[in-house]
Amino acid sequence: MEDSLADKVVLVTGATSGIGHSVAVKFAAQSAHVVALGRNHTALRDVETAVKAAGGEPLVLAVDVTNSDQAQHAIDETVRRFGRLDVLVNAAGHISAGSIEDTSLAAWDAMMNVNVRAVFQLMQMATPHLIKTKGNIVNVSSVTGLRSFPGVLAYCVSKAAVDQLTRCAALELAPKGVRVNAVNPGVVVTEIHKRGGMSEEAYERFLEHSKTTHPLGRVGDPKEIAELVFYLASERAAWITGATYQIDGGRALTCAR
């Protein structure tokens, strides 16, 4: 059943880097039709090349997921091109540092817009099409949705919101045959921290420190997360819905350090 998603149509946000990029390539390698969304035109060309190398012919769209018109266009163009939508993977995300004392409202709103509002909106837009295909949704959350961590308050709250959104939507859509799940990675080597303002040197120190905070002694690889996303989207997970899956080297089992 490894190719249970052959010829299925999979829309992936945040497909231009990190986990989203690996997810797009994984689905293409298993003969799914991939729709890759991202904001960076150069990175979109890169993911298009990678998906083609994996055997796919992707639909690549430059989309800011926080823009309602662009998000709706992505859904409409997917259905126009392929006639259906089977899987939505919300992998686009944003992180920035900040505590209860110094997180500005602007920083809070930016976090919520990308990590929560855009996820909700795309789920809502995709739902009528997923009901028709008895499809499913996989949201990329974080270990910070399950456990609290200091210094990234808005990010933690946004991911906890994604987890609850996943569970609530799963209950509401189950009678209509649509499954909704989330994955909760620990620290994974991507560009998200550097895009959020962390310097290259600080990021290297962070990765080294993270070897000590994850019981398995290392950080994660985006391809490992993509494997779990693929599993949850496949028929192998046909009786799983409303789950928030830890994939974090044991990070959620530990106390803050």
Residue 160 has what pLDDT? Answer: 98
DSSP element (H, E) containing 192: helix 192-195
Q: Which of 43-57, 152-166, 201-215 has the lowest mean pLDDT?
A: 201-215
Residue 1 has what pLDDT? Answer: 43
Residue 193 has what pLDDT? Answer: 72
Question: Any idea which residue has 């796919």 for tokens?
Answer: 56
Question: Any idea which residue has 């950080």 for tokens?
Answer: 219
Question: Any idea which residue has 């409409």 for tokens?
Answer: 76
Mean pLDDT, range 44-50, rounded to an integer: 96
- Summarised one tens digit per residue, pLDDT across range 85-142 is 999 999 999 999 999 999 999 999 999 999 999 999 999 999 999 999 999 999 999 9
Other beta carbons within 10 angstroms of residue 100's beta carbon come to 8
| Residues 123, 129, 132: CA angle, nearest 5 degrees | 130
Work out the mean pLDDT of the chain and round it to a whole number: 94
**Pick among 3.40.50.970, 3.40.50.11540, 1.10.3720.10, 3.40.50.720: CATH of 9-245:** 3.40.50.720
Catalytic residue selected from 155, 203, 231, 245: 155
CB-CB contact of 195 with 224 (8 Å): no
- Summarised one tens digit per residue, pLDDT across range 200-251 is 888 889 889 989 999 999 999 999 999 999 999 999 999 999 999 999 999 9
Other beta carbons within 10 angstroms of residue 228's beta carbon come to 20
CB-CB contact of 147 with 246 (8 Å): no
How do the domains of the chain map onto residue ranges?
9-245
Mean pLDDT, range 71-75, rounded to an integer: 98
Mean pLDDT, range 159-165, rounded to an integer: 98
Residue 31 has what pLDDT? Answer: 96
DSSP element (H, E) containing 106: helix 105-112
CB-CB contact of 122 with 71 (8 Å): yes
What phi, psi does 7 have (nearest 5°)?
70, 5
Residue 3 has what pLDDT? Answer: 54
For residue 234, give the nearest of 135, 122, 90 by alpha carbon: 135
| Residues 199, 203, 205: CA angle, nearest 5 degrees | 120
Three-class DSSP category at 232: helix
Three-class DSSP category at 200: helix
**Residue 163 above 90 pLDDT?**
yes
**Residue 257 above 70 pLDDT?**
no
Return the axis-axis angle of helices 118-133 and 153-173, rounded to nearest 10°: 20
pTM as predicted: 0.94
Rounded-to-integer distance, Cα 227 and Cα 109, Å: 31
CB-CB contact of 133 with 84 (8 Å): yes
Q: Which of 36-40, 197-201, 221-225 has the lowest mean pLDDT?
A: 197-201
Question: Does 155 qualify as catalytic in the annotation?
Answer: yes
Q: What is the DSSP string of 54-80?
A: TT---EEEE--TT-HHHHHHHHHHHHH
